Amino acid sequence: MTRIYYTKPSITELEVNYAMDAVANGWGDKCYDYIYRFENLFKEHLNVKYAIATSSCTGALHMGLAALGIGPGDEVILADTNWIATAAPITYLCATPVFVDILPDTWCINPELAEKAITPKTKAIIATHLYGNLCEMDKLLAIGERYNIPIIEDAAEAIGSVYHGKRAGSMGLFGTFSFHGTKTVTTGEGGMFVTNDEVLYEKVFTFSNHGRARGQTKQFWPDMIGFKYKMSNVQAAIGCAQMERIKELGKRKREIFKYYAKNLLELNGISMNPEKEGTVNGYWMPTVVFSKETKVTREELLEAFRSENIDARVFFWPLSSLPMFDPKPENEWAWDIPGRAINLPTYHDLTIEEIDRICNILISIL
């Protein structure tokens, strides 16, 4: 049996040609040309004022938090269900991540619990749009307004997701995106910081340029300690091609999910990524959660996929279960769901026959 990978990028001649042009010609006074072009394409797609291409989503989040002045003694609230990259930048700044439980249907942060976790030390709330599912942004933004706390969007997995007419990542004080090789839009590695706040943008821009402020006339004169999170021109060239194909890439993600859903959602005991009224789910990572009654386990799913030569990818472990953080088993759903869930393979050229192979495994387990 041929191997089915859990994800891989869609790279065409367009990406190759742009990358080759950047390698051959993108030097000297042209060394930022594709970066600027990529940022502009991304701003237009998201309908935001400012964008900064970065080497990773982690770096974009780190700079954004630093620009807010977050530091020792401060707290940042986020969902316990997250990849470590969302929590790590908080610790880089010697602040404390505060983990709260998720909603059982979207697997995103529970707004009520986020509000209850607010203390005088709280400096931000991070809303992670998990697997393309959307956080309840109206509730979170209202909480932020009530307490004068910025809402930050971790939209690393949510390119293509839309919340009541607004694209994921465009609603909070700032948003961050990932272009890792697994993402719907990829540059191999990479990220993007976006905002509509000019003052915040200028701070992050300065941070991103080793602390050199815009308009500084002295050559090699930093005004503060900054960071080195720049995206390369070659990576941005690939990103430009991907942005030109973004409708095609997003459409294919939705086609794949809908075929999975057609095969699986008629079965008792299975739920998948929701698409609530007024939203569009980018379906970055189709995910199946089995009900407790089925007694299906993560380990059973992993073994079944391995035996059929299919890559298996587990649902994120709760961050508070990791050894570097204090355990919070009271976060019921974040601790329970991963033990009976699995991410399903999804990539541009995944065939109907391959999806059927995957679905048959899940059907046979049930």
User: Are 239 and 179 in contact, with CB atoms under 8 Å apart?
Assistant: yes
User: Whole-angstrom Cα distance, residue 65 to residue 84?
Assistant: 16
User: 3-state secondary structure string, 273-307?
Assistant: CCCCCCEECCCCCCEEEECHHHCCCHHHHHHHHHH
For tokens 């809402």, the residue is 151
Instruction: Report the pLDDT value the prediction gives residue 312, as an integer from 0 to 100.
Output: 86
**Domains of the chain (ranges, CATH numbers):** 13-244 (3.40.640.10), 246-365 (3.90.1150.10)
pLDDT score of 215: 86
Other CB atoms within a 10 A radius of the CB of residue 317 amount to: 18
* Number of CB atoms found within 10 A of residue 198's CB: 10
DSSP letters for 237-287: HHHHHHHHTHHHHHHHHHHHHHHHHHHHTTSTTEEE----TTEE---SS-E
d(CA 105, CA 191): 28
Q: What's the mean pLDDT when you consider all of the chain?
A: 97
What's the mean pLDDT in 156-167? 98
Q: What is the mean pLDDT of residues 240-246?
A: 98
Q: pLDDT per residue over 286-299, tens digit each? A: 999 999 999 999 99
- Which tens digits make up the pLDDT trace of 179-188? 999 999 999 9
